[in-house]
Structure 1
Amino acid sequence: MPTRTLKQVISAIPTSDGGGVKLLRSLGQSQYLRLDPFLMLDEFSSMNADDYIAGFPDHPHRGFETVTYILDGHMLHQDHLGHRGDLKSGSVQWMTAGRGIIHSEMPQQESGRMRGFQLWVNLPAAEKMKPAAYQDIQPEDIPQLNLRGGGQVKIIAGTAQIDDRRVSGPIQGLSTEPLFLDVRLTADAHFVHPIAQSHNAFIYIYEGGAEIGPLAERQPLGTHAAGVLSEGDSMQVHAGEEGVAFLVLAGRPLREPIVQYGPFVMNTRDEIEQAIADYRNGQLVSGRV
């Protein structure tokens, strides 16, 4: 199989969510801008507390997973199960909403920079009603490797092949087989990595710019844009003159129907209507649904 090339560019657009947190949304702007199994990717970044201080008060989810990755700042997760999780700089929370969870994510700072991402990953039909669960992953539990050509890579999910090293991240064993890397390259550095042929993949650049693909087919990708990759068994990124920082996300497509209503993602309209009814009557988070 060939090296993957840039198939589609999805520029992030400003929006807001939760209590009014200002975001940049790439995947998930509409139902037509998804990449199975990924439903949505939001980036948030501000030094102005007015942009994030309202946070994300109590809200429900059903049918998918949320991944919160904090680059800078401090958020507190609380849910109906009584869990509390501190999300600080460099940490990740991988939450499986399953049949239902009600949670909040609120800033624990009144000034300074808040920066990070939230990714939504679909669950297969057979797992949409499993019990809710989550993992809080501390920065020291995320492997970070220096790249020979200049830069670093953090392995959050899946297994990375870096030079002659094979290193696994803390998230393993999920049905969608996600690969989640955070890569930072110095100026003009080059990054090559295998991607399973069966998986969909995209790159999201949050600092700098790069060219994607093999030398003869390189195409530019700028800041705050998701680059959907073509089919292939590997990817290549060549950093620009100022260097680049980007996320690599790949996963096994589910190829199942998607019906979404806000925080509920199911396979049929009837299942969505049931989720709404369960939330209204207090059964969303119970084992009786």
Structure 2
Amino acid sequence: MPATVYAVAGGKGGVGKTTTAANLAATLRATGREVVLVDADLAMSNLQGIIGIDHDPTLHDVLGGNADLEDAIVGESADALDAAGRLDVLPGASELDAFAAADPSGITDVVDVLAGRYDAIVLDTASGVSRESAIPIEAADETIVMTTPDRAAVLDAKKTAEFVRGLDCSVAGVVVSRTCQGLTDEEIVDIVDTHHLATIPDLDVPDADPLMPYRTLVVRLLIGHDVATDPAAVLDIEPGQTPRITSTLEPTPEKPTTSVEVSAPAAPSSEGDVPAETAAADSGDEAVSPEESTGDTEGEKREGRLGRFVDAIGR
């Protein structure tokens, strides 16, 4: 059975597309699925920096005809694979000359190949409405539209949803990243004219469970928009195996880190769910540095170069 392909789109930069794409992929993986996260934002690729890896070749090299797809995929390391599921990453390059050399139309063929290998594909797309954003959206089964509550961002999200529908593609719904003041969720849903999938709260909200929005998002994508209140229960994830995704968006030069872990759930909150633009960092969690996630030997390449990017705790 081919993979389900999800595109994460937004009308402008800074609304949380890349962070949401990474956390969506990690949460899907925590349900036991084999997942690949693809940086399909060819002009502004930044997934490598956000999740803390440094890998060549990249998707840009594949699209430019300079590398094989197998060599560009960063595989999950062997020491994490005793847990169900898998999360691999197909990163992009940040250099503008790499963008100039890459043919975006090749993304369709890349997705077709990956669809035969994985259960789910998550595409981080370019902001705005353009050929570069249209190609991954057309390759997806569902597109998730990201916005902040800012009115201008919401109006851009509305245009994005209209753009997706204009391509005869499906809008799964909207995810609201509450990194600023603005419209209510109800007002946003009314303007964008789609389902409300999740709200990612400001991390300053006391006692907020930063993972609840991603569990809610996955439940609504997999089961339906009207399911309810305890996503961990609906997903049938055992206690001690609820996804924990942590990310450092601005790592220190000495130790840029990101980890995706599976650990005991916080008490479920209501559907007001949410963390902010980043996934919550937990000081006690083990993180992976670029030194740990990359290697020089052929054996390391075969085993995977993400280090403990995904780690199952409490198995």
In the superposition, the TM-score normalised over structure 2's length comes to 0.32
In the superposition, the TM-score normalised over structure 1's length comes to 0.34
The structure whose residues are more often strand, as a share, is 1
The structure whose residues are more often helix, as a share, is 2
